[in-house]
Amino acid sequence: MNGSRAEWRALAAAVVQQAQGVAADFVVCPPAAGLADVATVVQGAQVALGTQDVCAHGNGAHTGEVSTTMLKEFGCTYAIVGHSERRTDLAETDGLVAAKARAALAEGIVPIICIGETEDQKTKGLTTKVLDGQLRGSLKDVRPARAVDIVIAYEPVWAIGTGKVPTAADITEACAHIRSLLIELLPDTGKSVRILYGGSVKPENAAEILTLANVDGALIGGASLKAESFVGIARAVVAKAA
């Protein structure tokens, strides 16, 4: 939850300009208050529009919420669901995350389902157990017709905004576990569902992280507040692959 209307428009415009010609998919997810402004900036560009959350219910008596129908009208094609901050600050459960994912899918919006362990859980060796429970719960009755219809974001809570980054081995192990679970839970699509990594990603470490097995992209937090670093992450990966 950052920025102002002027800042959102300026950031989106800078991302659109710098993303031109970069062989990557870009999605910007402003606060709900900024959707209308940012939508006008990214329309027709190589940058898709997403939202930071979505209501699990359709239009109706749900004061303060934003429905998938409304989001679709703004031009949203992606929706973050289950971000660790909402799981922690607002006590969102796996069941609610699954309901939000189903609501997004029903409206043709791609849910970006976030999962990840806390530092305490990691220290106790519970990472795979936590990921297993969160993914199973967050995918309950979620049935994407195609692999591209959903995205899973692995965001170790202890790495978000802290500057701490898991080792390559830790990320590889976690994402391999997520992949095996996806194949089990979604036999028709799980092998190809995109997995993102999120947690202190920046241009300096992006190439190493985003070329690891089963890491298909990044969910970028702090680095996304500056267009140069946001697009720079993609540029770093493309350059290494060249």
* Residues of the chain under the 70 pLDDT cut: 240-242
Q: How do residues 26-76 score in pLDDT, each as one tens digit?
A: 999 999 999 999 999 999 999 999 999 999 999 999 999 999 999 999 999
- Nearest CA to 44 among 79, 61, 78, 20? 20
The whole-number pLDDT of residue 242 equals 61
Angstrom distance (rounded) from CA 158 to CA 164: 7
- What does the longest C-alpha to C-alpha distance in the chain come to? 52
CATH code that applies to domain 5-241? 3.20.20.70
Angstrom distance (rounded) from CA 230 to CA 222: 9
Instruction: Give me the residue spans of the domains in the chain.
Output: 5-241
**What number of other Cβ atoms are within 10 A of residue 23's Cβ?**
11
The whole-number pLDDT of residue 165 equals 83
Asked if residues 54 and 103 have their Cβ atoms less than 8 Å apart, the reply is yes
- Nearest CA to 219 among 75, 98, 112? 112
Active-site residue set: 83, 155
